[in-house]
Amino acid sequence: MSAKTPLSVEEREVAATKAHATYSGGLWPWVFKIAILGVLDAGALYAALVLLNENSWGALAAVVIGTAILNIIFIPPNRFLPAKYLAPGLVFLLIFQVLAIIYTTYIAFTNQSDGHILNRDDAIAAVMAQKVERVPDSPSYKSAVAEKDGQLWLIVIDPATKATSAGSNDTPLAEVTGVELSATGAPKAAEGFTVLSFADVVKRTQEVRALRVPITDDPNDGYLSTTTGTSAFIFRSTITYDAAKKAMVGSDGTIFPDGGRGSFLNPDGTELTPGWKVGIGFENFTKAFTDKAIAQPLMRVMAWTFAFAILSVLTTFALGLFLAIMFNEPRMRGQKWYRVAMILPYAFPGFLSGLVWAGLFNQEFGFINQILLNGAAIPWLTDPWLGKLAILIVNLWLGFPYMFLVATGALQSIPDEALEAAKVDGASPWQTFMQIKLPLLMIPLAPLLISSFAFNFNNFNLIYMLTRGGPQFADTALNVGSTDILISMVYKVAGFDGGRHDFGLASALSIIVFLIVGSISYLGFRQTKTLENLA
Amino acid sequence: MSTQPTTFTAHDGTVQELPAQPRMGFAKWLGVIGWRHLIGIIAVVFSAFPLVYVVSASLNPSGTLTGSNQLFSEVSIDAYKNLFKDPSRPYGQWYINTLIIAGVTAVSTVFLGAIAAFAFSRMRFKGRRMGLMSLLLVQMFPQLLAVVAIFLLLTWIGDIFPILGIGSRLALILVYLGGALGVNTYLMYGFFNTVPSSLDEAAKVDGAGHARIFFTIILRLVAPILAVVGLLSFIGSFNEYVIASVVVGNSADTQTLAIGLFQYVSSETNSNWVIFSAGAVLAALPPMALFIWLQKYIVAGLTAGAVK
C-alpha cells in the first residue's frame, strides 16, 4: 500500500513483514491514527491549561486521565484490541450519556434556576456590581481604549505613581511597558495593543462604557471605568464581602447574612439577587409531590402520560393487527399497493406530522371543521378533552403502520399446523384468534409493545407539535397544560419553551420519568425473558 | 373466515399445490375478498390523505390555511420560490444544516456502532457480557431526559472550546453520537453473529490483520444492517427537536428544519400555512426517499426490535 516504486519480491516480503509487525493494517492507517491522536492530545493539553487556570481540579483530572487512557489504548500496535474497537463509541457514550445522567442527578439535588445559576464567588461579584458608585473625590486616571485579542482594554496612567498599566473586563490591571505618551500625558500607543482613535471610541461608545477593569483580583477593591475613553475613575461597590463573617456588609454597616439557601438576605428577609447554586437535598422531589402548586398539575400530567402511552399502544396495535389479519389472505390482489400507501405515515418525518395535523384540526380554518364537518367550530386543539382525543387520533395515524408491519411479520411465522389443528377441533374463528393466534403473536410482539410504550411515554414531538401541551391549566403558575406529558413538562419547567428556568425541578422530574419508564420496561422485559437471551 | 390454503403439506413432507379453485361467484367474492378491499381503501385514504392535503396546500396560491381547503383547486409554485426568499427564515440554510447534522451523525453512528459490535461479536474479553448488558441499561435513560444537563454541560464546555458550546452544530452532532452505542450496537451485534467466524479465521491464516478482516470482509457481509442503522439514525436526528432546540435553536442560521418549520406555524398558522406546506414537502423528501429505497431492510430490522 505504501510503496510506489517497484520492489523485488524479497524486498516486498521484508517490508510486508515489517509493516505487519508494527500495524496490521498498513502504514497509512497508522499515520491516520497518530494524526488523530495528535489532534486529540493537543486539544486535551489546551483544555488542561484552561482548567488549571480556572482551578477546576476534578475536570482537569478527568481530562488528563481520559487522554492518558486513550493514548495507552491506541499507541501500542496489536494490543488492547477490544478496547481499540470499543473506545471511540464509549468516549461519546461516557460524556454525553453517562456523564449527562450523573449530572442530571446532581442538578436534581440543587436549586439551580434563574437567579441561582452562578457559583458563589461570581454571585458575590454580581451583587456588588449592582451597587457601584464612583468613589467620591477619587483621582482621574489618564486613559486610552485599546484593542487586543479581539477584546477592549483600558490603558491607564496612575495619577500618583505615573506607572502605566492595562486591563480588560476579564483581566485585572497589570503593569505594561512600552507605552508612548502624547503631549497631554495620555497614553497614545502601546506595544501589542491597537489604541482606538477618537472616532472609533465614539463609534463603539456602548462597548467602551461597559468596560469595567478590576483593579485587583479582589472585587472589594473596585474597578476603573470610563465614559469618554480619555479619563477613567475608580468605582467601588457600596457593599463589600466580609470573608470572616461570610456575609455582605454595606458601607453603613448593614449586614446581609448568607441565608444558607444560596443567597444573601436583606434585613427584611428578602433575597439579594442574584444568588448562587447550592445543594438542597430532596427538596425538589418533595416539592414535586407536596407543594400543591406543583403536585396538582404534576399528578394530572402523570395520569395523562400513562393514559396516552397505554391507549396509544392499544389503539395502534389493534388497528395494525386488524389490518394485518385482513390482508393475510393470499387470494386478495393488489396487496402491494395497499401496503405501500399504508407505510406512508411511518416514512413521513414525525415532527411534520404533528404540524400538518395541527393545521387540519385548526378550529377556524382547518380542513376537518371546514370541509368534513361542514363549517363546524369544534375546538379540537384548545379543549382539554378534545385535545387529548386529537392527539390519540394523530398517534393512531402515526403508529398503526409500524404495528401493521410487525404484526404481518409475526402472523406469517405462525405455523399452519396450529391453525389446522384448531379447525379440526371445531374452534370458531373467534376462538382460534383469541386462544391460538393472539398468544402465539404475543411471543415476538410483546417486547415491541413494551418498547412502543416506552417510546410513547416520551413522545415529545407529537404533543409539542400538535398542541404544544395546551390548553394551559388555569389554576397553576407553572407553564403546563392539559395535553402535556411528563417529558414536555420537563422541557417547559426547564424554561426552554420560554419563561422561568427551573433546572433543579426539571432534572428531578427527569429522574422520576426515568424511574417510571425504567422499572416498567424492566418488569416487562423480565416477563418476556428478553434479557435472559442476552449474549 | 374460510381461508383455504392454496398449498398443502403432503405426508411425505413436500409442499404441493392444490388443484385450481373454481372461480367464485360475486357474492362469495364480496364475502371473502371484497370487504377486504373496502377496508383497505378506507385505510389507504386515512394514511394518505394528510400527505395529499399538504402537497395540495403547498401548491395553493392563496397562501393561507383557509384557502388550502379546496384541494388542487388552483396550482402555483410561488410558495416554493418564496420559501428561499426570506432572510429572517433561511430555509435553505436549515435544509443544509439538517442534512449535514443528520448525515454526519448517521455515518458516524454506523461506524462507531459497527466497530463496537465487531469487538463484542468477534473478541472475547473480560467484561464483555457486562458491557452488552450495561449498553442496554444505559439506553433506558433517553438522552432527551438529560436535556438540562446537556445544556449546562455545553455551556461549560463552550467556555473552554467556544466552537463546542451552545449554538454549535458540531456540538449537536457530538451530543447525538452519545447515543451511537446502545440499541444500534445491539442490532448489529446480532447480525454480526450470523456471519460465520470461519471466514475471519481463514483470512487470519492468510495473514490478514484485525483491521483488514473488519473492513474488507465483515463490513461487506453486514451491509444490510449498516443500512438499517444508518437510516434509523438519520431519521432520528432529522426529527429530533428537544436537544436541537436547546443547542442550536437560538440563531436562525444554525437551526434545523424541525425548529425552523415549527416556528413558521407556531406564530401565525393561517397566514404562513402554504409556505410552511411547501417547506414540509421539500423537507419530507430525503427521509421518505431513503425509507422507500431501504424498505425491505427496514421491515427486517423492525421485527428485530427497533422502534422509530
How far is A29 from B121, CA to CA, in rounded Å?
A: 23
Judge whether B205 is closer than 8 Å to chain A, CB to CB: no
| pLDDT tens-digit readout, A322-370 | 999 888 887 888 888 888 888 889 889 999 999 999 989 988 888 888 8
Q: B261: how many CB neighbours lie within 10 A of its CB? A: 25
Among A192-201, A342-351, A510-519, B43-52, the least confident range: A192-201
Q: Which domain holds residue B29?
A: 24-82
How far is A446 from A442, CA to CA, in rounded Å?
A: 5
C-beta atoms of B37 and A332 within 8 A: yes
Residue B43 and residue B138 share a domain: no
Does residue B12 register a pLDDT over 80?
no
C-beta atoms of A95 and B181 within 8 A: no
* DSSP sequence for B175-239: HHHTTSSSHHHHHHHHHHHTS-THHHHHHHHTT--HHHIIIIIIHHHTHHHHHHHHHHHHHHHHH
Amino acid at B113: G
C-beta atoms of B175 and A429 within 8 A: no
Q: B8: how many CB neighbours lie within 10 A of its CB? A: 12
Would you place residue A307 in the very low, low, confident or very high pLDDT band (cuts 50, 70, 90)?
very high
Phi, psi of A86 (to 5 degrees): -90, -30
**β-sheet bridge partners, residue A472:** A481
C-beta atoms of A330 and B6 within 8 A: yes
Judge whether B295 is closer than 8 Å to chain A, CB to CB: yes
Chain B interface test: which of A18, A39, A85 (most B C-beta within 10 Å)? A85
Cα dihedral B269→B273→B279→B283 (10° resolution): 70
Residue pairs spanning A and B at CB distance below 8 A: 307
Judge whether B223 is closer than 8 Å to chain A, CB to CB: no
Phi, psi of A227 (to 5 degrees): -110, -30
B-chain CB neighbours of A402 within 8 Å are 302, 307-308
How far is B282 from B293, CA to CA, in rounded Å?
A: 17
How far is A397 from A360, CA to CA, in rounded Å?
A: 13
- Does B8 fall in a domain? no
Does residue A240 register a pLDDT over 50?
yes
- Does B190 fall in a domain? yes
Residue (of A253, A313, A257, A261) closest to A283 by Cα position: A261
The per-residue pLDDT for A420 is 85
Does residue A259 register a pLDDT over 60?
yes
Would you place residue B113 in the very low, low, confident or very high pLDDT band (cuts 50, 70, 90)?
very high
Instruction: Name residues 487-506 of chain A within 8 A of B (Cβ).
Output: 487, 490-491, 494, 496, 503, 506
Does residue A524 register a pLDDT over 50?
yes
Residue B77 and residue B138 share a domain: no
- Does B16 fall in a domain? no
Among residues of chain A, what percentage have pLDDT more than 70?
Answer: 94
The whole-number average pLDDT for the span A3-10 is: 54
The per-residue pLDDT for A241 is 84
Closest residue on chain B to A503 (Cα)? B148
Residue (of B247, B277, B264, B8) closest to A348 by Cα position: B277
* Grid cell of A156 as nine digits: 491607564
The per-residue pLDDT for A8 is 61
Residue identified by cell 416477563 is A527
Residue pair A219/A124 in contact (Cβ under 8 Å)? The answer is yes
Judge whether B6 is closer than 8 Å to chain A, CB to CB: yes
Amino acid at A414: I
How far is B287 from A349, CA to CA, in rounded Å?
A: 7
The per-residue pLDDT for A20 is 46
Judge whether B183 is closer than 8 Å to chain A, CB to CB: no
Would you place residue B269 in the very low, low, confident or very high pLDDT band (cuts 50, 70, 90)?
low
- Does B96 fall in a domain? yes
Residue B244 and residue B150 share a domain: yes
How far is B119 from B139, CA to CA, in rounded Å?
A: 19
A-chain CB neighbours of B265 within 8 Å are 355, 358-359
How far is A482 from A304, CA to CA, in rounded Å?
A: 8
Q: A152: how many CB neighbours lie within 10 A of its CB? A: 19
**β-sheet bridge partners, residue A258:** A264
Phi, psi of A60 (to 5 degrees): -60, -45
Among A59-63, B14-18, B58-62, B146-150, the least confident range: B14-18
Residue B68 and residue B107 share a domain: no
- Terminal C-alpha separation, chain A: 38
How far is A407 from A338, CA to CA, in rounded Å?
A: 16
Judge whether B261 is closer than 8 Å to chain A, CB to CB: yes
- pLDDT top residue among A129 and A513: A513
C-beta atoms of B269 and A362 within 8 A: yes
| Strand A132-134, strand A187-190: pairing | unpaired
Judge whether B308 is closer than 8 Å to chain A, CB to CB: yes
Strand intervals (E) in A231-368? 231-237, 239-242, 247-250, 255-256
What angle, 0 to 180 degrees and rounded to 10, lies between the N-to-C axes of helices B257-267 and B223-239? 30
C-beta atoms of A465 and B174 within 8 A: no
- Does B182 fall in a domain? yes
How far is A362 from A378, CA to CA, in rounded Å?
A: 9
Q: What number of residues does chain B have?
A: 308
Report the SS3 class of residue A148. Answer: strand
Judge whether B27 is closer than 8 Å to chain A, CB to CB: no
Closest residue on chain B to A447 (Cα)? B305
C-beta atoms of B284 and A491 within 8 A: no
C-beta atoms of B138 and A101 within 8 A: yes
Among A43-57, A259-273, A474-488, the least confident range: A259-273
The per-residue pLDDT for A422 is 85
The per-residue pLDDT for B96 is 95
Residue B296 and residue B147 share a domain: yes
Residue pair B169/B101 in contact (Cβ under 8 Å)? The answer is yes
Q: What is the DSSP letter of B165?
A: S
Residue B159 and residue B286 share a domain: yes
Domain residues of chain A, as ranges?
9-79, 122-256, 289-533
Q: Which of B62, B82, B102 is the last residue of a domain?
A: B82
Would you place residue A217 in the very low, low, confident or very high pLDDT band (cuts 50, 70, 90)?
confident
Residue B161 and residue B117 share a domain: yes
The whole-number average pLDDT for the span B103-112 is: 95
Closest residue on chain A to B180 (Cα)? A89
Among A64-73, A236-245, A526-535, the least confident range: A526-535
Residue identified by cell 497508522 is A30
Please tell me the distance in Å from A184's CA to the nearest CA on chain B. 40
Half-sphere exposure of B10 (CA within 13 A, CB side): 6
| Long-range CB pairs of A165-169, under 8 A, 24+ apart, other chains included | A166/A190, A166/A193, A167/A213, A167/A214, A167/A224, A168/A211, A168/A213, A169/A210, A169/A211, A169/A212, A169/A213
Report the SS3 class of residue A161. Answer: coil
Q: Which of B34, B57, B82 is the last residue of a domain?
A: B82
- Does B10 fall in a domain? no
| pLDDT tens-digit readout, B41-70 | 999 999 999 999 999 988 888 777 777 777
B-chain CB neighbours of A30 within 8 Å are none
* Grid cell of A309 as nine digits: 402511552
Nearest by CB to B47, which of A112, A344, A371?
A344
Judge whether B209 is closer than 8 Å to chain A, CB to CB: yes
Nearest by CB to A348, which of B51, B128, B246?
B51
Residue pair A219/A128 in contact (Cβ under 8 Å)? The answer is yes
The per-residue pLDDT of chain A, averaged, comes to 85
Does residue B270 register a pLDDT over 80?
no
How far is B84 from B69, CA to CA, in rounded Å?
A: 24
Would you place residue B32 in the very low, low, confident or very high pLDDT band (cuts 50, 70, 90)?
confident
Does residue A487 register a pLDDT over 70?
yes
Residue pair A286/A126 in contact (Cβ under 8 Å)? The answer is no
| CATH fold of A122-256 | Periplasmic binding protein-like II (2.40.430)
Judge whether B29 is closer than 8 Å to chain A, CB to CB: no
Does residue B170 register a pLDDT over 90?
yes
Residue B114 and residue B59 share a domain: no
Instruction: Name residues 338-377 of chain A within 8 A of B (Cβ).
Output: 338, 341-353, 355-360, 362, 364-367, 370-371
| pLDDT tens-digit readout, A316-332 | 999 999 999 888 887 88
* Grid cell of A493 as nine digits: 419547567
The whole-number average pLDDT for the span B139-144 is: 83
Would you place residue A159 in the very low, low, confident or very high pLDDT band (cuts 50, 70, 90)?
confident
How far is A120 from A274, CA to CA, in rounded Å?
A: 10
Q: Which of B33, B56, B82 is the last residue of a domain?
A: B82
Amino acid at B156: W
The whole-number average pLDDT for the span A159-173 is: 84
Judge whether B16 is closer than 8 Å to chain A, CB to CB: no
| CATH no. of A289-533 | 1.10.3720.10
How far is A452 from A398, CA to CA, in rounded Å?
A: 12
Chain B interface test: which of A33, A80, A96, A414 (most B C-beta within 10 Å)? A96
C-alpha distances (whole Å) from A127 to each of A122, A274, A400 are 9, 6, 57
Residue (of A407, A397, A401, A414) closest to A448 by Cα position: A407
| Strand A247-250, strand A151-157: pairing | unpaired
Chain A interface test: which of B55, B136, B148, B218 (most A C-beta within 10 Å)? B148
Q: A519: how many CB neighbours lie within 10 A of its CB? A: 11
Cβ contacts of residue A283 below 8 Å, gap of 6+? A111
What radius of gyration do chain B's Cα atoms show? 26
C-alpha distances (whole Å) from B36 to each of A431, A456, B22 are 21, 30, 20
Residue B131 and residue B205 share a domain: yes
Judge whether B145 is closer than 8 Å to chain A, CB to CB: yes
How far is B226 from B139, CA to CA, in rounded Å?
A: 20
Residue (of A393, A394, A388) closest to A304 by Cα position: A388
The per-residue pLDDT for A505 is 93
Among residues of chain A, what percentage have pLDDT more than 90?
Answer: 29
Among A454-458, A497-501, A528-532, B52-56, the least confident range: A528-532
Query: Is the torsion defined by CA of A184, A186, A191, A192 positive or negative?
Result: negative
Domain A122-256 and domain A289-533, same fold? Reply is no
Residue B53 and residue B193 share a domain: no
B-chain CB neighbours of A95 within 8 Å are 174, 178
Does residue A5 register a pLDDT over 70?
no
C-beta atoms of B149 and A100 within 8 A: yes
**β-sheet bridge partners, residue A144:** A155
Please tell me the distance in Å from B144's CA to the nearest CA on chain A. 8
Closest residue on chain A to B181 (Cα)? A89
Residue pair B102/B238 in contact (Cβ under 8 Å)? The answer is yes
Would you place residue B3 in the very low, low, confident or very high pLDDT band (cuts 50, 70, 90)?
very low
Amino acid at A378: I
C-beta atoms of A355 and B261 within 8 A: yes
Report the SS3 class of residue A529. Answer: coil
Would you place residue A385 in the very low, low, confident or very high pLDDT band (cuts 50, 70, 90)?
very high
The per-residue pLDDT for B237 is 93
Residue B262 and residue B209 share a domain: yes
C-alpha distances (whole Å) from B278 to each of A358, A366, B54 are 16, 17, 8
Report the SS3 class of residue A276. Answer: strand
| pLDDT tens-digit readout, B235-250 | 999 999 999 999 998 8
Phi/psi zone of residue B184: left (φ > 0), alpha (ψ -120 to 50 degrees), beta? alpha
- Does B2 fall in a domain? no
* ipTM field: 0.85
Would you place residue A300 in the very low, low, confident or very high pLDDT band (cuts 50, 70, 90)?
very high
Report the SS3 class of residue B76. Answer: coil
The per-residue pLDDT of chain B, averaged, comes to 83
User: Peptide bond preceding A274: is omega within 30 degrees of 0, i.e. cis?
Assistant: yes
Q: H or E element: which one contains A180?
A: strand A179-181
Chain B interface test: which of A17, A45, A92 (most B C-beta within 10 Å)? A92
Give me the number of domains chain B comprises: 2
CATH number of domain containing B252: 1.10.3720.10
The per-residue pLDDT for B306 is 40
The whole-number average pLDDT for the span A244-250 is: 82
The whole-number average pLDDT for the span B293-299 is: 75
- Does B140 fall in a domain? yes
Please tell me the distance in Å from B87's CA to the nearest CA on chain A. 22
The whole-number average pLDDT for the span A106-121 is: 88
B-chain CB neighbours of A410 within 8 Å are 303
| Long-range CB pairs of A529-535, under 8 A, 24+ apart, other chains included | A530/A447, A531/B133, A531/B136, A534/B129, A534/B132, A534/B133, A534/B136, A535/B128, A535/B129, A535/B132, A535/B133
Q: B160: how many CB neighbours lie within 10 A of its CB? A: 19
C-beta atoms of B146 and A517 within 8 A: no
Q: pTM value?
A: 0.82
- Terminal C-alpha separation, chain B: 33
How far is A38 from A41, CA to CA, in rounded Å?
A: 5
